[in-house]
Amino acid sequence: DRYENGRKHILVDEVDSMLLDKGNCVLYLSHQPSNLDSLESVYIFIWQMIVLNAVNGKYSSILEIKKIVLHNLYSILDKNELYKLTKNYEIIEEIWNELIENNNIDNLGKILSSENIKFENENLNEFLKPLKFLFDEIINYEKRIQIPNYLKLFVEQHLTTWIQSGIKAFEMEEGRNYIIDVDKNLTKLDKHPNIIIIDCDTGVDQINSQWNECLHQFLQLKHQCKTSLINLKAVFISNITFFNMYTNIYGLSGTLGSESEREFLKITYDVDFITIPVALTSRFKEYQPIVCKNIEQWRKTIVETAMKIVTGKNKRSIIIICETIKDVEQIKQSFKQYSEEEEQQNKESNSSNFDDCPDSSETYNNTET
């Protein structure tokens, strides 16, 4: 057993990514309880509210959406509904406080019991009958969210975070932090388009990973993918805690060199550094940065600079490293546009040269004359 005598040695590749960039990242071992499939109605309802607000040109307020969700989850008495009984603010406050004291409602208006509604102040008895009718109307209201009672508290505890995740999913763009693809390891029947997280630091597809707090489910709804169950965290540990369990840490990196990075690693992990010389002389040359006014000029400059190197005297190949897949697609489109413009200019140039040539019949007549 590798843990029998304690953790002694660990070898880490790309040590700057694992210990610096992702030092605070947490590894979760999660599971998907089957009884959570009923929660799908909750985040579908939240997503519908966010999309409806966007269609109407309205900003999605977290508090407003939360209020509507809770009214479709519980039977809730809104204090404003008491104005149906009377317009007197003092009487409304007295009715509200007595309902709370009698445990008919809680402080938020959630109906706890519609039985034995009574008032200590006899002057309020005239409102008993219309109040019972109002309670029955709220309780019998057909709610759009149907989940088991034992999950309602769980939903209420996570509701604010879920709404924030829904708004974030609405604003996220495909190709920046995620792509839509199928898992190549699955069988043909199980292959469905799904949300696949992209590690922006390494560009690796994290097929077996999911965003938490319903963010993954909202993205699946956004792109009409098959929705998955919410994951619950069973075991978790941060990268820093995991690596510090080992006595000796051996790491390799080709990009770790600044004094501040080395000092941070030395303090956090208590490690030393050895610089291994390269086998060949480095031919790396850094040019002066080019500052562009806007994104269009930035892409155009990249294309023009790349074409100069590719078609220049030495005709060297070039690699363009982009931050996201979205940037790759946009720069690819810029190259395509550049190629089409060059082709059009060549056609116009050839057409112009042909027009400048003397007509063959005229040349023959002039010669004979």
| Tokens coding 28 | 């979760």
Q: Is 6 helix (H, G, I), strand (E, B) or coil?
A: coil
Strands 194-198 and 248-252: unpaired
Percentage of residues of the chain with pLDDT beyond 90: 16
Predicted structure pTM score: 0.68
Q: Is 80 helix (H, G, I), strand (E, B) or coil?
A: helix
Separation CA 335–CA 327 (nearest Å): 12
pLDDT higher than 90, residue 353:
no
Strand ranges (DSSP E) for 261-366? none
Separation CA 46–CA 85 (nearest Å): 32
Separation CA 243–CA 246 (nearest Å): 6
pLDDT higher than 60, residue 273:
yes
Reported as a pLDDT band with limits 50, 70 and 90, residue 333 is: very high
| Tokens coding 224 | 């009409």
Reported as a pLDDT band with limits 50, 70 and 90, residue 362 is: very low
pLDDT in tens, 188-204: 556 778 888 887 766 67
Highest averaged pLDDT of the listed ranges 20-24, 276-280, 352-356: 276-280
Percentage of residues of the chain with pLDDT beyond 70: 86
pLDDT in tens, 204-233: 778 878 888 889 999 999 998 888 888 777
Reported as a pLDDT band with limits 50, 70 and 90, residue 239 is: confident
Strand ranges (DSSP E) for the chain? 9-13, 26-31, 178-181, 194-198, 205-206, 232-238, 248-252
Over residues 108-125, the mean pLDDT reads 84
Look at residue 369 in the predicted model and tell me its pLDDT.
34
For residues 244 and 296, the model is more confident at 296
pLDDT higher than 90, residue 50:
yes
pLDDT in tens, 152-182: 999 999 999 999 999 999 999 888 888 888 7
Rg of the chain over Cα atoms, rounded to whole angstroms, equals 33
Reported as a pLDDT band with limits 50, 70 and 90, residue 270 is: confident
Reported as a pLDDT band with limits 50, 70 and 90, residue 48 is: very high
pLDDT higher than 50, residue 324:
yes
Return the amino acid letter for 138: I
pLDDT higher than 50, residue 257:
yes
Q: Give the N- to C-terminal CA distance of the chain in Å, as an integer.
A: 105
Over residues 136-151, the mean pLDDT reads 88
Mean pLDDT of the chain: 82
